[in-house]
């Protein structure tokens, strides 16, 4: 764990924490001194993450949470407050995705993608916002370059990420100045979500990116951590693009 800990005494919830950006963010927040409530539906990976953070000197616990279910959010918020007495940071990062042409997309798949990617933010507000208001806290939502551009076979995912960005602005207006709400617009990052993408496609994506490569989860976690700290006290309602410059070449 790091010596300089900007989040000492704070408590954070991270969804989708079993891998990728969520795991990197949970580790970074813990390294900065936060007590981390890591949640996911991949229990073995989530438990291992929490155990690793504790073994490294941090504070973390894991709880199974389907972010599309109000009851799971209520249980997660309740356990977090029960353990630590406060909640300062919520990072809504869980996602699901299914690719298909819009007219072939199953209705249940549409509903599930919207529920996980978008409804999770609403449910986090219902269950966590009172605690964030008490603490003068922060909410950070993971959006995507899919909120900025259209991608074939991603109707539900693109719609949900565009809505997350819009909802972020609304929540910042509604709950400021007591709670800051921001989103990160994430580009190509080497996470398990890219396992379906061939090396050739990854290389092509990197060539289209001014940074010349795909991102690392730790680089996204660093931005989330910045937004969670007092270094970002005048940043709210923002959709912070973290994509290596990929989107600026598409205008």
State what percent of residues in the chain have pLDDT above 70. 98
pLDDT digits (tens, 9 = 90+) for 203-222: 999 999 999 999 999 999 99
Domains located in the chain, CATH noted = 11-246 (3.40.50.720)
In this prediction the pTM is: 0.96
pLDDT for the residue numbered 4: 67
Between 7 and 194, name the one with better pLDDT.
7
DSSP state of 32: T
pLDDT digits (tens, 9 = 90+) for 50-75: 999 999 999 999 999 999 999 999 99
Mean pLDDT of the region 27-41: 98
pLDDT for the residue numbered 1: 44
Average pLDDT, the chain: 96
Mean pLDDT of the region 84-99: 97
CA atoms within 13 A on the CB side of 45: 15
The continuous run of DSSP H or E covering 108 comes out as helix 107-114
Q: What positions carry a catalytic annotation? A: 157
The continuous run of DSSP H or E covering 65 comes out as none
């Amino acid at each position: 764990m790091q010596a300089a800990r900007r989040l000492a005494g704070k408590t954070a919830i991270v969804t989708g924490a079993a891998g990728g950006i969520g795991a990197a963010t949970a580790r970074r927040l813990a390294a900065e001194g936060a007590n981390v409530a890591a949640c996911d539906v991949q229990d073995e990976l989530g438990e291992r993450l929490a155990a690793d953070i504790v073994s490294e000197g941090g504070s973390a616990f894991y709880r199974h949470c389907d972010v599309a279910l109000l009851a799971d959010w209520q249980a997660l918020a309740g356990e977090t407050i029960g353990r630590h007495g406060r909640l300062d940071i919520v990072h809504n990062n869980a996602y699901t995705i299914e690719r298909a042409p819009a007219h072939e997309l199953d209705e249940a798949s549409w509903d599930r993608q919207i529920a996980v990617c978008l409804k999770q933010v609403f449910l986090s507000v219902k269950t966590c916002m009172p605690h964030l208001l008490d603490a003068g806290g922060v909410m950070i939502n993971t959006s995507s370059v899919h909120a900025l551009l259209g991608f074939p076979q991603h109707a539900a995912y693109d719609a949900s990420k565009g809505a997350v960005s819009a909802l972020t602005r609304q929540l910042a207006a509604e709950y400021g100045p007591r709670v800051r709400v921001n989103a990160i617009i994430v580009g190509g990052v080497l996470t398990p979500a890219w396992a379906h993408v061939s090396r050739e496609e990854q290389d092509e994506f990197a060539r289209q990116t001014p940074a010349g490569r795909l991102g690392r989860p730790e680089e996204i976690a660093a931005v989330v951590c910045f937004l969670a700290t007092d270094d970002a006290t005048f940043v709210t309602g923002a959709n912070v693009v973290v994509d290596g410059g990929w989107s600026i070449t598409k205008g």
